[in-house]
Amino acid sequence: MMPDTFQEHIVKHFTVVMTTVLLAAAVNAQASLPFAGNVRADETEHVLFEVDFGGAHQSITLDLAISTTSAAGGLDVALIDLDELALNGTATSTDTGFNPGAGAINVSLVTPSYMGVHQFMVSVETFGATGSSDFSGTMTAAALNPGAITESGRTVIPYLTGYYDLLGRGARFAALSTGAGTVSTDVNVNFGSVDQAITLWVQAEAFTAGTVEVYEVLPAGTENLLGTLTLSGTFEDDDNLTTSPRNGTVTLRVKIVATSANQFIWHVVLPGTVASIAPPKKSGGGKSDSGGCSTSDGGGSWWLALLVVLGCVGVTTRAGTARI
């Protein structure tokens, strides 16, 4: 075999170099976004991300690598596909992980076939019951181009009674009861200008038996029952419920029906085609927002609107089928 000429040697060397450069560029040509924060043991931090799938439908793997340096606090995290959760529940929409001390957690989701922009949420809590934990994470989608992942919002929800908006994607409500009675809370939703029927996810938890009823308030003011969650056994239930075709501002009414002293917490997660309307902040140092409109009946003053820290709410939330 004849030895390479000088020109052939140069061509081979150039080919090797260019191949290495192209492979390195391929590795780096992916969507990746770092984020960081600090979460206390008496709260949950939600970080909302928008992921642009482009102009053609595709299913991708979305990876989350997150870590903490807190040996005492640790981390408990969830990666949630909000549209998939609203439509089909927890089985294919959520991946969770935890570390009781300092170290890393890796979770991932394989998405449905999407196009355009869809929202995902990272829910972060401490693993320990006291203190706080720093966190530093990176969201990555190897199949998407750089810049396809952006952070679009954050909210911190303390373990308190009251109503909290989930960055336009739904609501969380927590309540304490001292006896039998019903509390009704409204979630106002912007359906847009064109009629659409939506499917939403509802989850409820309690420490003893009870029910949570979900209604759609029709234009005439009557209530259309969408579904009832029954809290018994594990005292947790969730379901995907569908409204009638609606437009404009629509009220979803969630009723907690307590038969005895109890603690309740419920979540509503909406599809990305609508948006929850956060209630206006109250001034004057009064109690926290109560969902725009909360009413109670039965059992006298069974509804406790005290702003007390509920460590038990955090425990209940973590025990559920999805971490919101």
Domains observed in the chain: 32-158 (2.60.120.380), 162-319 (2.60.120.380)
- pLDDT, residue 187, reads 97
- pLDDT, residue 8, reads 53
Helix (H) or strand (E) holding 16: helix 6-28
- pLDDT, residue 284, reads 36
Is-contact 47 154, C-beta < 8 A? yes
- pLDDT, residue 24, reads 42
- pLDDT, residue 296, reads 61
114-117 own/partner pairs: CB under 8 Å, 24+ apart:
114/53, 114/57, 114/58, 114/59, 114/60, 114/83, 115/53, 115/54, 115/55, 115/56, 115/57, 115/58, 116/52, 116/53, 116/54, 116/55, 117/50, 117/51, 117/52, 117/53
Measured CA to CA, the distance from residue 269 to residue 168 in angstroms comes to 9
Q: How far is CA 43 from CA 38, 155, 204, 224, in A?
A: 11, 10, 18, 34
Amino acid found at 258: A
Handedness of CA 323, 206, 237, 191 (dihedral sign): negative
- pLDDT, residue 29, reads 80
pLDDT by position in tens, the chain (length 324): 455 564 554 445 544 444 443 444 444 689 999 999 999 999 999 999 999 999 999 999 999 999 999 999 999 999 999 999 999 999 999 999 999 999 999 999 999 999 999 999 999 999 998 899 999 999 999 999 999 999 999 999 999 889 999 999 999 999 998 889 998 999 999 999 999 999 999 999 998 889 999 999 999 999 999 999 999 877 899 999 999 999 999 999 999 999 888 899 999 999 999 999 988 654 333 333 344 466 666 544 444 443 333 444 444 444 444 567
- Tally the C-alpha atoms within 13 A of residue 138's C-alpha that lie toward its C-beta: 8
